[in-house]
Amino acid sequence: PPSRAMAETVEASSASFSSELRREGNELFQAGRYEEALAVYARALGLCAPEERAEKGLLHRNRAACALKLEDYAQAERDASEALKVDGGDVKSLFRRSQALQQLGRPEQAILDLQRCISLEPRNKAFQEALRNLGSSMQEKMRNMSCTDSKVEQMFKLLLDNEEKDLDKKQKAAQNLIVLAREEAGAEKIFQNDGVRLLLQLLDTGRLDMMLAALRTLTGLCQGHRSRTMAILTELGPERLLAVLEMEAEQVCLATYNLLQVVFDALKEGLQKEELSKKDNALVPAKELKLLLRRLLEALTREKISGYGRDSLLNLLINKVPRKSPQDPNNCLTLWVIDQGLKDILEVGGTVSQSPEGLQVTENTHMTVAVLLNKLYGDLKCDAERENFHRLCEDYVRSWFQDHGVPGQLRAIQTVSCLLQGPAEAGNRVLELSGVMEGMLALCASSKEVEQLVAVEALIHAADKAKRATFITTNGVTLLKEIYKHSPRDTIRIRALVGLCKLGSAGGTDFSMKQFAEGSTLKLARQCRKWLCNEAMDRGTRHWAVEGLAFLTLDADVKEELLEDKAALQALFHLARSENQSSLFAVASTLVNCTNSYDHEEPDPQMVELAKYAKQHIPEKHPKDKPEFVHRRVKKLLGAGMVSALTCMMKKETAALSPACRELISRVFLAAVEDPEDRGAVVAAGGGKALIPLALEGTDAGQTKAAQALAKIAITTAPEMAFPGERVSMEGGAVLPRECVSCVKALSCRTCRPKGPRFKSRERSERPLLAPASANLAVRKHANVSR
């Protein structure tokens, strides 16, 4: 019939066109245009009729050759297998599959394919040579594996030998073990050779170097491997880990923290799964994770845990419990920790460090607790969840404040102080409980140093809100003045001084809103500088001097005096470089004030006239906050080493380096690079490298400020100097580093948008930068940069 004849004609033409496309693909392959050849073969496959099995086999075989050239070995293996389904004796497909399997790390299967090739073509020298090479490489691998086994055994024997006195040998053996565990093959060898049991023996020796080697090796074994992690966690047990955290050794606690981080990462992979496959015969990771979390929350209030160990546990909760992104809808882990462990966290926050009966804490513990509370509160999604948080905090503070006398009130007020430094909304809610503010003021007048310290610190943190500041100004300023003038203890006097500084700066930058008499803020600032420069004082006390300056430097007269005091500036930067984490925010705030890099808007002249007519208050700018004064202050700070201090602050891996603190640092950097003449000095001190992480992480405002600073550096400084480690190619102009290209905000910002030829960034491997379509559009539109 005509229809049948037409169908046969169409099939014949399709087959002809498919063969023609295959020949076109062969020509492209011969010309080295493998990607185009692959696309043509794919089109030909789409035109093949079901009965054209031979043609399909040829096309799949040719696709396998293209995939091998493009180093897509998984695709090459799939295409060769499809070709072999058509013709199991196709030696070309067998050989190509053997090549792909060898690259995919499956040499045993590759050998089987090569042996089949030789059985089909016994005289083919290429097949014989490939089989010999593969066999010799497998033998070499087996020899290396057996050699590794013996080396692992020797390292453990040397480390566990109590009679071995050569410490250098032991140190090298420990380092080799750590390096070996960082590679998957080495980690598996250690694990298979009873390494976990031997590592636990090292851990039980109690020697610092052996314990560090064991913990770091265990971290390598757990890295990215859930089943090994589960087995190690079962063998290790929480009690042994907690016993390690009882040591007063910061290095050991840090190594334990790193191990726990890796364990958390492995267990969190299975948190969303309700159950594992029954054939795995393993526990549900979610259950394991919650069991581990419960033990760690209980350990927070364990008396034997050292201060460093407690800080490690708190930092672990900060990094692993809250969601990484608000776009993630699942905050179940945060809710679980709040329900099960908020009381334990508040107990650590309420510990009075000077009390001999309390938990062991460090100078950074209270700040770390405040950061954790703030992270947990910020991870809540709705009013009901936040109300539950408030209720738990209020119940805890109320229970201590009402039923345990003065010691209980002291603990309650210390808890309030932590809440005010963290989730301020929760802290202010607790302050409104009956009798809390009155009890705080009463303890400020106590004759006992510990009670005065805690109460004055809480009073300082409570003065943040205007309502609180008014209440304290009315009821507490006289008391703070009395403490400052007559207390024999400098630790108390400096805290009272900071309280006065905070109240004295309540008017902010408004020159007309002065809380104290003319010259009082200058006197307070001089005393703060005196204590800051006194190296005989402990760092915790000197930190309070910086806190005072952070408030007082809102006054331009104080800024000018501080910039003339070189000793005070050096003491400020030295404290920023120290291990005292609680000083970071205060140092950054002081520098923001001195550089006037806070947000300020010029008032609308019409609104000013309207306010005058209505007899409303009009903010006044201090004469010494004019641009020429600010410019001179920035120059002096750069000369004193400000950028070096900021760079050191950015290198600290600490919870105190919060998004708000990072934003302050970004603001200071942007002020430092405002003048093109200063950008070279900023880059020379490491400012370019320090700005990159600031542009990638933090608040929106902080990222924008850092990206603007990067853009300003990029248009005036040679890229190899500004961003060492990045290779860039230019098309007639300067460039931004790879990270800055991805930050569309920097490129679209009106204040720093560069002008000139387009740019292109490349990494060391000279691979082109890939960016989302929206980013590419912004780059094309805004990334015109002039040298």
Strand, coil or helix: what is 758?
A: strand
The mean per-residue pLDDT over the stretch 413-441 comes to 87
User: Is the pLDDT at 344 greater than 90, yes or no?
Assistant: yes
Q: Which of 95, 123, 151 is the last residue of a domain?
A: 123
- Token pair belonging to 418: 């932590």
Residue 666 lies in a domain: yes
135 C-beta neighbours (distance < 10 Å), count: 13
Tell me whether residue 23 is in a domain: yes
What is the rounded distance in angstroms from the CA atom of residue 438 to the CA atom of residue 441? 5
Q: Among 759, 765, 730, which Cα is nearest to 747's?
A: 759
Amino acid at 178: I
Does pLDDT of 229 surpass 60?
Answer: yes
Residue 760 phi, psi (nearest 5): -145, 135
Encode pLDDT of 147-190 as tens digits.
555 667 677 777 777 666 666 777 777 787 888 888 887 788 78
> Is there a domain that residue 701 lies in?
yes
Residue 777 clears pLDDT 50, i.e. is over it: no
What is the Cα 583 distance to its own chain's centre? Answer: 20
Q: Residue 389 falls within a domain, yes or no? A: no
> Three-state SS for 784?
strand
Question: What is d(CA 637, CA 565) in angstroms, rounded to the nearest whole number?
Answer: 11
Residue 702 neighbours by CB under 8 Å, 6+ apart: 659, 662, 663, 664, 665, 666, 667, 694
The DSSP string of 641-693 is THHHHHHHHHH---TTS-HHHHHHHHHHHHHHTSSGGGHHHHHHTTHHHHHHH
* Amino acid (one-letter) located at 451: E
pLDDT for residue 595 is more than 70: yes
In angstroms, the CA 158 to CA 731 distance is 59
CATH number for 74 = 1.25.40.10
pTM of the predicted structure, to 2 decimals = 0.64
C-alpha separations of 604 from 282, 381, 511, 610, 617 in Å: 68, 38, 18, 10, 14
Q: Across the strands, what pairs with 784?
A: 758
Supply the angle between the helices 285-300 and 250-268 in degrees, to the nearest 10: 150
Q: Which residue has the higher pLDDT, 600 or 210?
A: 210
CA–CA dist 5, 327 (Å, integer): 60
Question: What mean pLDDT, rounded, does the chain reach?
Answer: 78
Q: From 401, 407, 299, 311, select the one nearest 352 (Cα to Cα).
A: 407
Q: Indicate the burial class of 396 (C-beta count within 10 angstroms; 0-12, 13-18, 19 or more).
A: buried
Helices 195-203 + 125-160 axis angle, to 10: 30
Q: Predicted confidence band at 131 (pLDDT cuts at 50, 70, 90)?
A: confident
Q: State how far the Cα of 703 lies from the Cα of 659, in Å rounded to an integer.
A: 10
Domain hosting residue 621, numbered range: 561-599+610-749
Tokens coding 739: 């990270």
Please tell me whether residue 283 adopts helix, strand or coil conformation. coil
pLDDT tens across 70-94, in order? 888 889 999 999 999 888 888 999 9
How many angstroms separate the first and last alpha carbons of the chain?
A: 76
Its sign, for the CA torsion 38, 44, 45, 51, is: negative
Instruction: For residue 509, give both structure tokens.
Output: 């930058």
Burial environment of residue 325 by CB neighbours within 10 A (0 to 12, 13 to 18, 19 or more): exposed
Tally of CA atoms within 13 A in the half-sphere of 391 that contains its CB: 8
Question: What pLDDT sits at residue 164?
Answer: 66
- For residue 726, the model assigns a pLDDT of 54
Give the residue among 381, 369, 305, 304 at the shortest CA–CA distance from 341.
369
Question: What is the C-alpha to C-alpha distance for residues 476 and 193, in angstroms, rounded to an integer?
Answer: 68
- Confidence grade of residue 494 (pLDDT, cut at 50, 70, 90): confident
Q: Which helix (H) or strand (E) holds 760?
A: strand 760-761
Any domain includes 472 = no
CATH number for the domain including 632?
A: 1.25.10.10
Model confidence at 118: pLDDT above 80: yes
Residue 681, in any domain of the structure: yes
- The percent of the chain in helix, strand and coil, each rounded to the nearest 5, is 70, 0, 30
**pLDDT given at position 383:** 92
Full 3-state SS string of 222-244: HCCCHHHHHHHHHHHCHHHHHHH
| Averaged pLDDT for residues 648-668 | 83
Q: What H or E segment, with its residue span, contains residue 761? A: strand 760-761
Alpha-carbon distance 360 to 342, whole Å?
19
Are 558 and 552 in contact, with CB atoms under 8 Å apart? yes
Structure token digits, residue 579: 């291990």
Please state, in angstroms and rounded to a whole number, the distance separating the CA atoms of residues 643 and 591. 11
Which phi and psi angles does 769 have, rounded to 5°?
A: -70, 130
Q: Which of 123, 156, 184 is the last residue of a domain?
A: 123
Of 123, 67, 140, 125, the closest CA to residue 99 belongs to 67
DSSP state of 768: B
Give one DSSP letter per residue of 458-509, joined into a string. Answer: HHHHHTTSHHHHHHHHHHTHHHHHHHHHH-S-HHHHHHHHHHHHHHHTTTTT
Residue ending a domain, choose from 123, 153, 186: 123
Neighbours of 147 (CB within 10 A): 10
Q: What is the pLDDT of residues 731-761, one digit of tens each?
A: 334 444 544 544 434 444 444 444 433 333 3
280 Cβ contact list (under 8 Å, min separation 6): none
Instruction: Report the pLDDT value the prediction gives residue 275, as an integer from 0 to 100.
Output: 38
User: Beta-carbon neighbour count of residue 464 at 10 Å?
Assistant: 16
Tokens describing residue 251:
């290095």
- Which DSSP letter does residue 785 get? -
Residue 593 is assigned to a structural domain of this protein: yes
Q: With 50 as the cut, is the pLDDT of residue 767 above it? A: no
Min mean pLDDT across 54-68, 185-199, 390-404, 562-576 is at 185-199
CB atoms within 10 A of CB 295: 15
CB 268 within 8 A of CB 286: no
Number of H helices, E strands in the chain: 42, 2
Instruction: Give domain status of residue 119, yes or no.
Output: yes
User: Which residue(s) pair with 728 in the sheet?
Assistant: 761
How many other C-beta atoms lie within 10 A of the C-beta of residue 591?
28
User: Are 666 and 705 within 8 A, CB to CB?
Assistant: yes
Please enumerate in sequence order all residues whose Cβ is within 8 A of that of 266, keeping only pairs 6 or more positions apart, or say none: 222, 224, 225, 226, 229, 230, 285
How would residue 105 be classed by pLDDT, with cut points 50, 70 and 90?
confident
Between 171 and 320, whose confidence is greater?
Answer: 320
Instruction: Please tell me the least confidently modeled range out of 79-83, 437-441, 560-564, 594-598.
Output: 437-441
Q: What's the number of domains the chain is made of?
A: 2
Residue 144 to residue 152: CA distance in whole angstroms: 12
pLDDT at residue 504 above 70? Answer: no
- How many angstroms separate the CA atoms of 464 and 510, rounded? 17
What confidence score (pLDDT) does residue 782 get? 33
- Residue 728 backbone phi and psi in degrees, to 5: -135, 150
Flag whether pLDDT at 387 surpasses 90.
yes
Q: pLDDT band for position 205 (50/70/90)?
A: confident
Selected residue with higher pLDDT from 759 and 8: 8
Task: Indicate the DSSP class of residue 729.
Answer: E
Judging by beta carbons within 10 Å of its beta carbon (0-12, 13-18, 19+), is residue 551 exposed, middle or buried? buried
Separation between Cα atoms, residue 662 and residue 695, nearest integer Å: 10
